[in-house]
Amino acid sequence: MAEIFFFIAGIGAIAGAVGVVTVRNSFYAVLALVGHLLSLAALFLLLRAQFVAAAQVIVYAGAVMVLYVFVVSYVAEGPFQSTPGAITGGARALAYLFAVVLAAELMIAMLGNGLEAVGHDGAPYDPGFGTPAAIGKLLLTKFLFPFEAASFLLLIAAVGAVVLARRRGSGIDPAFRPVLSVMDLVREERLGTMAETVHAGTGAGPAVGATAPLGAGGSDLAADGREAGW
């Protein structure tokens, strides 16, 4: 029974991976990756990693892929609609040659290493293996430092993503800053927050679409018409 399940999930995972690489439309590539991740979660279940399988489905196939779908549909309506395909010519042949060599090398390293345990089913059955209780105990005792480091990494990534993808204030008149709430007194100018855009829209100053005198931060985006419309 486990064999049938393994081959279904394994073929699904490999087919999903091939789909990600070959499909031209990046939206379908994301959907192929979702299928791949679900098959991979089934493989994790076969390996008795219940908690990791659940996290894979919820965090990866759920949250991260939603982020992907949003960005794909956001980027798709720009002036560069023609999505670039694969490279061509000699570089492509070289890339595939490298991939085949890599596959052969990995197979030799993993299957031809002569380790006896690789040919067996693994360790004997332990009812507590892979449960959330076991994982949580390990995370909070033996692996406390990696756990904390990972949480800091997540914080840094969240801040970095906001800084990278923020609106750089165009269409906002720096001379006209109405104080509507206490936060307006402490907020710096041109942070690209939603509040600034709202103020730019409600202000009685120059029209929103007119290019306001901009600081060094936003001048390169002053001519970007799409920004002003927000």
Partner 1 sequence: MAIGWYLAVSALIFTIGAAGVMTRRNPLVVLLCLELMLNAANLALIAFSRMHGNGDGQIFAIIVMVVAACEVTVGLGVIVAMHRRNLPIDVDELRELQG
Question: Binding to partner 1 (CB under 8 A): which residues in 105-164?
Answer: 106-107, 110-111, 117-124, 126, 129-130, 134-135, 138-139, 142-143, 146, 150, 153-154, 156-158, 160-164
**Cβ-contact 56, 37 below 8 angstroms:** yes
Please give the Cα distance from 217 to 61 (Å, whole number).
Answer: 37
Which residue stretch of 18-26, 171-179, 197-205, 209-217 sits at the interface with partner 1 (rule: CB under 8 A)?
Answer: 18-26
| Among the listed residues 62, 66, 96, 194, the single contact to partner 1 using CB under 8 A | 96
Q: How far is the CB of 8 from partner 1 (least distance, A)?
A: 12
Contact status: 46 vs partner 1 (CB under 8 A): yes
Contact status: 66 vs partner 1 (CB under 8 A): no
**Cβ-contact 39, 55 below 8 angstroms:** no
| Cβ-based nearer residue to partner 1, 146 or 215 | 146
Please give the Cα distance from 177 to 16 (Å, whole number).
Answer: 52
Question: Binding to partner 1 (CB under 8 A): which residues in 171-200?
Answer: none
Q: How far is the CB of 203 from partner 1 (least distance, A)?
A: 23
**Exposure class string for 144-177: b at 16+ Cβ within 10 A, else e:** eeeeeeeeeeeeeeeeeeeeeeebbbbbbbeeeb
